[in-house]
């Protein structure tokens, strides 16, 4: 496949087979997590930059990217899921000699009394800082 400018490509660029008679074409997005999105690659890379730099406020991203809050939330959740999948499939120990690890647990919500005499607890969040 060779990369080039093609009118039918989503971004105006894509991959085409150089073999004579072969008309196979692929978008630049094929095989990446951008594949199913209609958002331009430029905007997605800009979003990834902001996300990686910790500029993740929905308000900030809405102003800078001109996306709807729902789209921003969907992409933030998608990136979180990718990170979770990565770290669950490739676990690495944290801490070690000379490293301090802080772990905090917080519970959110109200405690509810159920008919059977049991209590129902709401969500729990665990955070780690190395």
pLDDT score at 46: 93
pLDDT score at 115: 63
Angle between helices 41-52 and 69-89 (to 10 degrees): 70
Give the predicted TM-score (pTM) of the model. 0.60
pLDDT score at 86: 85
Contacts of 65 (CB under 8 A, 6+ apart): 43, 46, 47, 50, 72
pLDDT score at 116: 63
Partners of 16 in beta bridges: 2, 25
Average pLDDT for runs of 10 along the chain of length 130: 66 74 74 79 90 89 92 91 86 79 70 61 63
Query: Taking phi first (over 0 means left), then psi (-120 to 50 degrees means alpha), and beta for anything else, what does residue 129 get?
Result: beta
């Amino acid at each position: 496949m060779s990369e080039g400018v093609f009118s039918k490509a989503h971004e105006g660029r894509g991959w085409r087979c150089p073999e004579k008679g072969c008309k196979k074409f692929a978008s630049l997005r094929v095989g990446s997590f951008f594949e199913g999105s209609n958002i331009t690659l430029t905007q997605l890379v800009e979003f990834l930059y902001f996300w990686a730099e910790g500029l993740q406020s929905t308000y900030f991203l809405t102003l800078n990217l001109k996306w709807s809050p729902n789209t921003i939330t969907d992409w933030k959740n998608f990136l979180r899921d990718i990170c979770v999948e990565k770290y669950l499939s490739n676990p690495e120990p944290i801490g070690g000699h000379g490293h301090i690890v802080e772990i905090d647990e917080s519970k959110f919500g109200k405690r509810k009394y159920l008919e059977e005499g049991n209590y129902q607890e709401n969500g729990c969040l665990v955070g780690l800082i190395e």
